[in-house]
Amino acid sequence: MKHLFNLIVVIAVVVNISGCEPAEVGLVLDKRADDGASGIYLTHDTSVSFNSTTDRAGTESLEVGIEETKLVAEINVINGTLLLDGHHNVLSSQQKELLQSLSNELEETFSDDAPASHEISLVQLLSYWAQAPQGYVYGRRQVEIGTADGSTNRGDDGIRCIRKGTWVTARYDDRSGHHQDSVKVNSTARPGYECMGRCGPGCGSWWAVAKAWTQDCMDHDQCSNVNYSSGGSSDSNCGDEYDEAADDWLWGVWNGCDGN
């Protein structure tokens, strides 16, 4: 009987040790300084590394790696340009969820103090990459910040602020043609589509360091809302609206698009 008791104790200890083993998951911030930030975000089965730097010439560089998958961005604040290069990768839903989780974690961390410009860029870029349409190919492209393409009916509106509570016309195209839908800014279209017109997923956290509402983000939100609900979510429907919202996502807040 005593032997049996000992055996039970041993089994209990083994189970206890394995059950309480500290899980090394979460954000490890290696560096947070005036000239950049770097670290790694760990989950049970994968990791995301990030490294952002900023120099006196007004260039902010960011490199993100999800295992072997690399995404880079270069922002020139002086010239008003943004270069995005995803090496033609296509991210899985899980990889995009990871980027959004990392963005959320960094946003909460940075909100403790007044976040630096490059820290807000990091949070917003991760979130932007995380919200790409399904099947989106992260190619190499240069964005002129805040430059409208001159089209009045659709296309890139530069960075045009919209006000919460007002009705605006969302313009987008998909496989069934061109659409113009009237949508109330900051309304809820359905679960997952709260705060319509905000650049970012849903309404974001209350500690959000950058909240902006713009026309291009509304066009993208409504295109996604309509196409995702019909099961047709894909790069070919809303990829162009997503592309046109890049500058809004990153600089809407600096352009005063606080929704008021």
Residue 235 touching Ca ion (CB under 5 A): no
Total Cβ atoms within 10 A of residue 62: 24
Q: At closest approach, how far in Å is the CB of 240 from Ca ion?
A: 5
Please tell me whether residue 257 adopts helix, strand or coil conformation. coil
Nearer to Ca ion, 221 or 248 (CB): 248
Window 108-137: contact mask with Ca ion (x via CB under 5 A): ------------------------------
Q: At closest approach, how far in Å is the CB of 57 from Ca ion?
A: 24
CA angle 224, 222, 69 (to 5 degrees): 30
Following CA atoms 19, 22, 23, 29 in sequence, which dihedral angle do they give, to the nearest 10 degrees?
A: 170
Q: At closest approach, how far in Å is the CB of 156 from Ca ion?
A: 5
Rule CB under 5 A: choose which of 247, 249, 251, 252 binds Ca ion.
247
Window 141-160: contact mask with Ca ion (x via CB under 5 A): ---------------x----
Cα-Cα-Cα-Cα dihedral sign, residues 129, 216, 221, 163? positive
Residue 173 touching Ca ion (CB under 5 A): yes
How far is 114 from 247, CA to CA, in rounded Å?
22
Residue 248 touching Ca ion (CB under 5 A): yes
Whether 99 contacts 111, CB under 8 Å: no
37 - beta bridge partners? Answer: 32, 52
Residue 216 touching Ca ion (CB under 5 A): yes
Q: At closest approach, how far in Å is the CB of 58 from Ca ion?
A: 20
Residue 107 touching Ca ion (CB under 5 A): no
Tokens of 66: 């999800």
Contacting residues toward Ca ion, per CB under 5 A: 156, 173, 216, 240, 244, 247-248
